Amino acid sequence: MRARTPLEAEIARLREEVCALHAELTRYGLVVWTAGNVSGRVPGADLMVIKPSGVSYQDLAPELMVVTDLQGVPVDSLSENSPTGKDRGEWGNPGLSPSSDVAAHAYVYRHLPGVGGVVHTHSTYATAWAARGEPIPCVLTMMGDEFGGEIPVGPFALIGDDSIGRGIVETLRGSNSPAVLMQNHGPFTIGPTPRDAVKAAAMCEEVARTVHIARQLGEPLPIAPEHIASLHARYQNVYGR
């Protein structure tokens, strides 16, 4: 049996990781039915791994994760012994289509080189803020820690091309926040790794819920910008290191 190349081994590892992280979306109640997706950039290659379209979460398996290029087009491996591509190699695709959000994920990877993971959910509270087109204000120290300020709103965009990706990049480029609420759609989160992006998705829903409840009691108290900056710097550079 032919030994895996380093690239094939890395893709196999990432397929395992991305598949496992989808279980975190259901664990934290961030998705229903087949909605939502996690992707991960393949280190050292212009490739990514993403959830297949229309497959139930309980049926996901590592070998069903789809490998695409950074245009969102599914690709198969070309082994040294098969330059024509007839041998799909260790990471050939399963014949499934990638998530319908693949163009958005691909655009983010092309334009934000430091991003290694992208997540999209329709989690209830964060999506409710997105439906209002309203940023989530930074009124919690955990928001200062994790998001470094408010969670911003991105522009309305339709699925089908890279319009959503453009909105994500335009909104988050230069922002401390790893989360954006795409107007009338829902949250997208990014991170240096797929796990970091999943954590940001869970935290985004948590603060969306908490701030919503706080507003039912009255107007939440803002945190001074200098305190937000201090919280974010400490959490990102000192806490847990």
Domains of the chain by residue range: 6-237
Q: How far is CA 237 from CA 30, 115, 201, 240, in A?
A: 28, 18, 21, 9
Could you give phi then psi for residue 200, rounded to 5 degrees?
-60, -35
| Separation CA 160–CA 109 (nearest Å) | 17
Q: Is the separation of the CB atoms in 179 and 151 below 8 Å?
A: yes
241 residues of the chain, pLDDT tens digit each: 678 899 999 999 999 999 999 999 999 999 999 999 999 999 999 999 999 999 999 999 999 999 999 999 999 864 433 333 434 456 789 999 999 999 999 999 999 999 999 999 999 999 999 999 999 999 999 999 999 999 999 999 999 889 999 999 999 999 999 999 999 999 999 999 999 999 999 999 999 999 999 999 999 999 999 999 999 999 999 875 5
pTM of the entire predicted model = 0.93
CATH-assigned architecture of domain 6-237: 3-Layer(aba) Sandwich (3.40)
Q: How far is CA 83 from CA 10, 77, 87, 114, in A?
A: 21, 9, 8, 32
- Amino acid present at 10: E
Structure tokens that stand for 190 in this block: 């990014």
| Separation CA 99–CA 138 (nearest Å) | 32
Give residue 241's pLDDT.
52
Give residue 210's pLDDT.
98
Element (H, E) at 20: helix 6-27
| Separation CA 212–CA 128 (nearest Å) | 9
Give residue 130's pLDDT.
98
Give residue 4's pLDDT.
86
Q: Residue 124, class by beta-carbon neighbours within 10 Å (0-12 exposed, 13-18 middle, 19+ buried)?
A: middle
Give residue 101's pLDDT.
97
| Separation CA 33–CA 104 (nearest Å) | 21
